[in-house]
């Protein structure tokens, strides 16, 4: 691990130690999905990591149906 990689992961590792959920990103073709990880390995070359966003009252969640084009809120 380089110094720059450590700087990038430090806030994520700190959040994990405080009990926050960590996610890693899976990329295949044009698809990019975030997955929860209860026991992250912090493989720098393999995955992108982030702290799982916490939803609050007033946040809006939406999804798009790619076949019909409808947007659901």
Whether pLDDT at 47 is above 80: no
**With contact defined as beta carbons under 8 Å apart, do 36 and 52 qualify?**
yes
Q: What confidence tier does 9 reach under pLDDT thresholds 50, 70, 90?
A: confident
On whether the pTM is more than 0.85, the answer is: no
Considering only CA atoms, which of 10, 21, 18 is closest in space to residue 55? 21
What value does the mean pLDDT take over residues 3-24? 90
Q: Which spans in 18-57 are helix H?
A: none
The alpha carbon of residue 39 and the mean position of all alpha carbons in its chain are separated, in whole angstroms, by 14
């Amino acid at each position: 691990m380089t110094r720059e990689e450590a700087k990038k992961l430090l806030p994520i590792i700190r959040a994990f130690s405080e009990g926050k959920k960590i996610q890693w990103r899976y990329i295949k073709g044009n698809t990019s999905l975030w997955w929860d990880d209860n026991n992250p390995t912090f493989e720098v070359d393999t995955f992108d990591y982030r702290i799982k966003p916490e939803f609050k009252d007033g946040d809006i969640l939406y999804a798009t149906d790619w076949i019909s084009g409808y947007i659901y809120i």
